Amino acid sequence: MNNSPLNYVDPAGHCAVDSNGNILVDPETGEIVKTDCTVDDFLNLSWEQRLEWLKLFVSQNDLADWFDDIKNAIEFMMDDPNLSDASGAANYMDAAVLQAINDGWNVVTGGTAIGEAGIDGADGWASFFQKWRDCRETGMCGDGNWLLDDRVEAEQIGVDYAQTLTYAPGGAYDRDDIRSKAELDWFLLGANGYRAVGTRLGPLCAGVCDPRTAGPGLREFASWAGPRWANLVYGFYLGAVSYPPFY
């Protein structure tokens, strides 16, 4: 096997790893080599590899701390027994979320969105990335709070895309067990609510639903409440199965 990180590409087409399982980067620039990543490419990455990919993506594109909430979401799902399964719906949905981010960057840098099943989640990210790049070029970003609604809306569009794919009939969600479905539904409800507030309040949401700072708190709450909600739903499910109503 050729162990050169420049020449070695995983034969499965993962997005993309070297012979040591690290995200494949150009040894001269340190930048990610493979940028035309599909949902399946991200799906084939482990949770740890996705964190590494996100860290590299943020660093090489000078995206500051705009993806801290997504990093914390990945860490939460990676550690959660109901969401971490490699064949589960949360794993697939996260892969699609990252692919939408990657597609958005490709669009704003002159490429095209790859998407999946004839749709993509790139538009919101492309809009945010363009505004971020423009303000950095002019030195007019300030504290960045004026970009909060654009950033949160971009994430929501990407999540909507991922949810459409994940919840499609016969898709990853349909194959999940009761606990995993319950916790993913709960997590999505909370995360969508957090983003809805951020989109409506924009700069007023700084420090509360700010993706740059809210991640650790959201992760801590989700880690405490998510499994408990899943167990509660599962308990009701077992009760309904064991003691069906009489009519």
- Residue ranges of domains in the chain: 39-239
- C-alpha–C-alpha distance, residues 16 and 8, integer Å: 9
pLDDT tops 80 at residue 105: yes
Residue 201 has pLDDT above 80, yes or no: no
- DSSP code, position 32: B
Tokens of 2: 């050729």
- Which of 5-19, 56-70, 215-229 is least confident? 5-19
Mean of pLDDT values over 230-240: 63
Share the mean pLDDT of the chain: 86
Q: Compute the distance between CA of residue 28 and CA of residue 40 in angstroms, rounded to an integer.
A: 28
pLDDT of residue 194: 83
* H-helix segments, the chain: 39-43, 47-60, 68-79, 89-108, 122-138, 148-166, 178-201, 215-242
**Contacts of 177 by beta carbon, 8 Å cutoff, 6+ apart:** none
Indicate the residue type of 203.
Answer: P
**∠ at Cα 51 (19, 72), nearest 5°?**
165
Choose between 93 and 246: higher pLDDT.
93
